[in-house]
Structure 1
Amino acid sequence: MTASILSIGTAVPPAVLHQNAVRDLFAAQPGIARLSQRLVRAAFDASAIETRHTVLADLAEALDRGTAPTDAGEPAAAEPGSDDGASLAVISDAGALLSPSTGTRNDAYIALAPELSARAARDALTSASVAPGDITHVVTVSCTGMYAPGPDYRLIRDLDLPTTVERYHLGFVGCAAAVPALRAAARMCAAQPDAVVLVVCAELCTLHFRVADDPDQILAASLFADGAAAAVVSADPARRSGRWLDLDRFATAVTDDGERDMTWTVGDTGFDMVLTAEVPRIIGREIREAVGDIIAGASVDTWAVHPGGRAVLDRVESGLDLPPDALEVSRAVLRDYGNMSSATILFILRSILLGDDLSDGETIATLAFGPGLTMEAALLTAGVAEDGAVRADAVADGAGRTDAVRAEPVASWT
């Protein structure tokens, strides 16, 4: 039996960052070089992002007030002990961005990520009409923080799942991790046909924002955002209703180049991202060969591509000779939410799943990219029952895939 995604739930923090305001704040930071100011403006303006969500409430509030840096010196380090773990102070009263330690940033992750995960998971469980007690396996995903007992353990406690649930965590895999998580869920369902697997991706990328003259850090600051997404996976046909996505096959590839062009490591003042300008070019050059096996013999109707950035989407589009509107859902999610690392591809699949024009048997090619460079792919087939119309309460404002203005709305974390 084929495993299927029965539902996808999503959640974002309530604080919204408007791209132009963040650009101006970063460009005006004390101590930043004139060339870096130009790089900031170029990176933010070319990002194709309008809004992002963040757990950094003080940053969003400062931007709403129009706070601008007034200190002519270097940005100050965060005061030790100034943070209670439930939030992270990243901006001074004078508007200068602070430099909290990695430990302080990770404390904020431990305090804030579990609730975001739980909200996305509850959304998915409710949409699939699956009770917490029905879950047999949990797969959690994150690359923006770490602790033990980890996210898999916390989810069991927070959702009151059975203590016998099998737990797995994919840590530090990066933006592509949702696809191998779904692959693991499908393998679990193949081994245990009555399994019901809960996959949850939660990323707080903005915890690692910092001011730097390094072009990689500038690019990261222009792209990344916070969000969580969850999927309920099962091979039990009796659990399918309304709409679902069959997980038909998977593929993975490591590119010939790129080992040093996209990396994610632990630094002293946050996690360090290397994301060079070569990444889109490598993806564009190798994408056709990388996905050849998985789409061989398939007539792909819809593309769900992780928006590592506008240039990545452009290179995928040209490398696969796709029509200009083929990646409109990916571009809409990038525009409205930014790059939420592993959670992003599930936002895209949710938008497709709830789209007004989803048809039974529609073939969906899913692609995501991670450090290395690695490429992860999945081929999905949509199932739409006779009663498969989108419920009015499933999409808060009635927007579907045909809405070219906004991506699918999600529950906000409060």
Structure 2
Amino acid sequence: MTLARLLGIGRAVPTNIMPQDQALQWARSHFSERYPAFERMAPVFANSGIRERQLAMPMDWYFQPQDWVTRTIAYRKVAGALFIDAARDAIANSGLVAGDIDMVVTVSSTGVATPSIEALVHDELGLRPDVARVPVFGLGCAGGVSGLALAARLAASKPGARVLFVAVELCTLSFRDDLANKANIVATALFGDGAAAAVLCTEGPAQVAIRSASEHLWPGTLDVMGWDVAPQGLGVIFAQSIPSLVTRQLRPALELLLERLDTTMDQVGRYVCHPGGTKVISALEDSLELETGTLDFERAVLADHGNMSAPTVMFVLQRVLADAALPKRDMLMLALGPGFTLSGALLEPTD
């Protein structure tokens, strides 16, 4: 079977930087009077493993009342700009130009735009009029792996076609100052904004190819993670502790996923995981039987950018592929997202 090869990766982040200590100060002034248990939750900011994050909008924007209209205006503008920057980066790193792209897969769950983002930026990016478009909504944090896998399947189904995959998420635009609850405070401590892109094709120089992909959705877990839709905008849902769920249930699901991918843990030379938070990273290391600290690039990306949802795992993959000490062995990308779903993609060296 002809495999899709990863020709290049790109990334982009907004210019508005928020240090984590500033985020804590702001959250304390904003929530403590309305949420009596705030000080018991405050350590989540310091223990998150995050040094700073990038925000879609300037800080004063978040102090103003927002609704669907203002959030959507911001989403279309900032998501479009980040899409272009990440796509141009990936295309250039692949040795191509925008006119070479035959198909675009766009993953985003933090805003709504019709026409979709890749159509809004079509002319400015320089895509051809006949480019095929595949916008995908609702994958959440799993979108980096599931979206890359979808783009790889489409590239493999049409040998020679160049498929651009872009994941862009503006998590902070969904901040709800009217919600003084645990889930909203955790989200305020964790999430940032960014975009990542990749070009895939069955032909061309590449370090890795996407060999196979699979997903596992746990029954009865639809309320674990997702969006609550309200007149003011989207509100984050964390119905259960994700780290404890990973500790309890990841390993048996992973074994089933590995079987479908026709591989074993012994054959995986490197895991590339979505760093949902420092506790999630530790739970992943325990479940994967890795020494503490093994997922070093995951921790580094989390520290520099926070949890950007779907693009985050692509930031990790870019750092892994740039590592001169990378072993010439299979890599397994993993991400958890709404559903509650484990998404996996197996990457193999091309030489």
TM-score, with normalisation over the residues of structure 2? 0.93
Deviations 1:33-52 (A, max 9, x none): 35343144122122111110
The aligned counterpart of 2:30 is 29
Matches of 1:206 and 1:171 in 2, distance apart? 17
Q: Which runs of 5+ in 2 are unaligned?
A: none
The aligned residue for residue 8 of structure 1 is: 9
**Cα pair 1:26 1:40 within 8 Å, conserved:** no
Deviation at 1:172, TM superposition (A): 2.1
Alignment of 1:305-384 (within 5 A): 305-359=273-327, 361-383=328-350
Matches within 5 A, 1:218-257: 218-236=185-203, 239-240=204-205, 243-257=206-220
Listed one character per residue, the Cα deviations across residues 12-50 of structure 1 (whole Å, up to 9, x for unaligned) are 011111001111111112773353431441221221111
Identity %: 32
Aligned-pair CA distance for 1:133: 1.6
What is aligned with 1:216? 183
Instruction: Tell me the CA shift for residue 231 of structure 1.
Output: 0.3
Q: Secondary structure at the match of 1:372?
A: coil
1:162 aligns with 128
Equivalents in 2 of 1:131, 1:303: separation in Å?
31
- Match of 2:311, SS? helix
Counterpart contact for 1:7–1:244, Cα < 8 Å: no
CA contact (8 A) 1:23 1:40 kept: no
1:168 positional shift: 0.2
CA 1:23/1:381 → structure 2, altered by over 3 Å: closer, same or farther?
same
Q: Matched residues in 2 for 1:259 and 1:332: separation?
A: 30
CA shift, 1:362, in A, is 2.5
Q: Give the Cα–Cα distance (whole angstroms) in 2 for the partners of residues 341 and 30 of structure 1.
A: 24
Give the direction of change, closer, same or farther, for the CA distance of 1:256–1:284 in structure 2 (3 Å limit). farther
1:281 deviates by 1.5
**Post-superposition offset of 1:135:** 0.8
Distance in 1 (alpha carbons) for counterparts of 2:227 and 2:345: 24
Cα shift at 1:257: 4.5
TM-superposition CA deviations, 1:361-380 (whole Å, max 9, x none): 33211100111211100111
Check whether the contact 1:258–1:279 (CA below 8 A) recurs between aligned residues. Answer: no
Q: Distance in 2 between matches of 1:30 and 1:194?
A: 53
In the alignment, structure 1 segments of 5+ residues that lack a partner are 60-88, 92-97, 385-414
1:3-152 correspondence runs (5 A): 3-29=4-30, 32-33=33-34, 35-59=36-60, 89-91=61-63, 98-152=64-118
**SS of match in other structure, 1:125:** helix
Q: 1:193 to 1:17 in 2, by over 3 A?
A: same
User: Quick check: which one's helix share is greater?
Assistant: 2
Matches of 2:77 and 2:207, distance apart in 1 = 33
Q: Please state whether the residue corresponding to 2:267 is helix, strand or coil.
A: coil
Matched residue, 1:196: 162
Q: CA separation in 1, counterparts of 2:81 and 2:254? A: 36
Opposite residue 189 of structure 2, the aligned amino acid is: S
Following the alignment from structure 1 to structure 2, what is the Cα–Cα distance between the partners of residues 34 and 213?
Answer: 6
Measure how far apart 1:129 and its partner are: 0.3
Q: Which consecutive aligned stretches of 4+ in structure 1 deviate over 6 angstroms post-superposition? A: none
User: What residue in structure 2 maps to residue 75 of structure 1?
Assistant: none
Given the two structures, how large is their TM-score scaled by the length of structure 1?
Answer: 0.79
Check if 1:187 corresponds to 2:153: yes
SS at match of 1:176: helix
Q: Which has the higher contact order (CA 8 A, sep 6+)?
A: 2
Structure with higher Rg: it is 1
Matched position secondary structure for 1:200: strand
Say whether residues 1:299 and 2:267 are aligned partners: yes
Structure 1 residue 154 displacement after superposition: 2.2
- One-letter identity of the residue aligned with 2:118: D
Task: Give the corresponding residue for 1:267.
Answer: 230
C-alpha distance in structure 2 between counterparts of 1:176 and 1:30, whole Å: 29
Q: Do the aligned partners of residues 289 and 158 (structure 1) sit closer, same or farther apart at CA in structure 2, a change above 3 Å counting?
A: farther
Q: Cα 1:197–1:266, aligned 2, differ >3 Å: closer, same or farther?
A: same
**CA-CA distance at 1:11 after TM superposition:** 0.5
SS in 2 for 1:259: coil
Equivalent residue of 1:175, what SS? Answer: helix
Could you tell me whether the CA contact under 8 Å between 1:143 and 1:203 is conserved in 2?
Answer: yes
Q: 1:298 to 1:169 in 2, by over 3 A?
A: farther
2:270/2:332 contact within 8 Å kept: yes
> How many residues get paired?
344
Deviation at 1:291, TM superposition (A): 2.0
Aligned to 2:113, the other structure's residue is in SS state coil
Query: For 1:257 and 1:318, how far apart are their aligned partners in 2?
Result: 24
Equivalence for 1:71: none
